[in-house]
Amino acid sequence: MPHRLSQTEFIAMIAMMFATIAFSIDAMLPALPQIAAELSPGDLNRAQLILTSFVLGMGVGTFFAGPLSDTFGRKPLVLVGSALYILSAAVAWRSQSLEVVLAARFLQGIGASGPRVVAVAIVRDLYAGRGMARIMSFVFMVFTLVPAIAPLLGAGIMSVGGWRSIFLAFIAFSVVSTLWIGLRQSETLPPAQRRPFRAAPLRAALLEILRHPAVRLSIMVQTLCYGILFTMISLVQPVYDVTFGMNDSFPFWFGGIAIVAGSASFFNARFVMRLGMRYLITWALTAQVILAAIMVVVSLMDLPLMLAFGIFVVWQTSVFAQAGLTIGNLNALAMEPMGHIAGMAASVIGAIATVGGAALAIPVGLMFDGTATPLALGICVEAALALMLMLHMRRSEQRAEKTAQKAPQKTVPPS
């Protein structure tokens, strides 16, 4: 039985592993105008690909990180992934073209996938079901502090050393988190429970995951929820800058909103054991469909600028809060039947959801026309589809329960 850290230290460590992702994305937001002006002056919208290229790399790497962690253990994957992350950040720091930066960011995302997948697998090694959902809620609550301060940190680092120095901060952050897990966390997957890295077992595990109806639907909903989050992140800085002329104060607004929205993860941690994961996901998506539809209407109206901005801030808060009420719960739902192949399951679930979410966000981001309409409309459609799938999941479960109740009970003849 692996030695367990105190729950406080464990949550903080896992949160920092997750935070590598948030820091790598959100710290770049204030740099987008400078990167666009320096590396892509002819097409400023291409600077958004700095964000989505990282996410795509993370999604691709996630396919392999879990199976490799099932074969070699959790900690070795953290070390290898962190090494690739640090090397890629160094390449991006020295690059002179947007194409090289995008390639380095893609590789950096692959490197980040190791700690990201291993973090979920470690939690699943030690917890299950609603207990896992509770731990993940606390992780997301702590994790929320990083996107809250990441744009401010990015802006501060830029003011000292320019946008390239942000990549040096990525290197330092990764070194600290890697040393923490390397020195403090014991291996959670003993050699006797490891699976050989062969094509046949991996294919069998993949088919098992995708054939399970609840897992399959959970992955689809999680993909759409990631799409909502990535769509907002990819366009939030251009909307503040171009639509509302608030670029100078953007890091402060973003940080304040992230802190307020983080209360959703605290709410989820407190009530998920009582209300259940499906209930919270369904109601969060219902609220998002309504709020996004309102934002679509507002974006098409000629309202006073500050009134429209205030409504946008409220809606942006709801999007980040919805992530805290859905993504962790959906991941726990999908992982619950997959404890015997936790690493592979974490890889497939995370990869499909991440790549799919980024794929949904890219076209919406490139449609930016100076208004909030593409952003609001894209998120409204994504939330509506996710809600429909959640309702379908519930109906399927109810039908399965009725079928089980009607099935004749086998009786044992008296001896």
Please state the rounded mean pLDDT for residues 273-288: 89
Please state the rounded mean pLDDT for residues 257-263: 84
**pLDDT score of 412 more than 70:** no
CATH (domain of 380): 1.20.1250.20
Unique residue bearing structure tokens 């607004």: 253
Q: Tell me whether residue 380 is in a domain.
A: yes
Predicted TM-score (pTM) of the model is 0.81
Q: Tell me whether residue 272 is in a domain.
A: yes
Q: Tell me whether residue 347 is in a domain.
A: yes
The Cα 152–Cα 27 span in angstroms is 8
Among the residue ranges 90-94, 238-242, 348-352, the one predicted with the least confidence is: 348-352
Band of pLDDT at residue 415, cut at 50, 70 and 90: very low
**pLDDT score of 164 more than 80:** yes
Write down the mean pLDDT value for the chain: 86
**pLDDT score of 240 more than 60:** yes
Q: Give me the amino acid identity at 268.
A: N
Please state the rounded mean pLDDT for residues 241-270: 86
CA-nearest of 150, 119, 149 to 136 is 119
pLDDT reported for residue 356: 93
Our count of domains for the chain comes to 1
**pLDDT score of 20 more than 70:** yes
Q: Tell me whether residue 381 is in a domain.
A: yes
pLDDT reported for residue 241: 93
**pLDDT score of 265 more than 80:** no
Q: Tell me whether residue 196 is in a domain.
A: no
**pLDDT score of 413 more than 60:** no
Band of pLDDT at residue 293, cut at 50, 70 and 90: very high
How would DSSP label each residue in 316-380? HHHHHHHHHHHHHHHHHHHHGGGGGGHHHHHHHHHHHHHHHHHHHHHHHHHT--SSSHHHHHHHH
Structure tokens at 264: 């959703």
Q: Tell me whether residue 405 is in a domain.
A: no
Contact 272, 328 (CB under 8 A): no
| Biggest alpha carbon–alpha carbon distance for the chain | 86
The highest-confidence range among 91-100, 138-147, 288-297, 391-400, by mean pLDDT, is 288-297
Q: Tell me whether residue 408 is in a domain.
A: no
| pLDDT, tens digit (0-9, with 9 covering 90-100), for 187-238 | 888 888 887 777 776 677 778 888 888 888 999 999 999 999 999 999 999 9
Among the residue ranges 104-108, 113-117, 355-359, 410-414, the one predicted with the least confidence is: 410-414
pLDDT top residue among 379 and 64: 379
Range of the domain at 72: 7-189+205-398
Q: Tell me whether residue 181 is in a domain.
A: yes
Please state the rounded mean pLDDT for residues 341-351: 74
pLDDT top residue among 163 and 324: 163
pLDDT reported for residue 1: 46
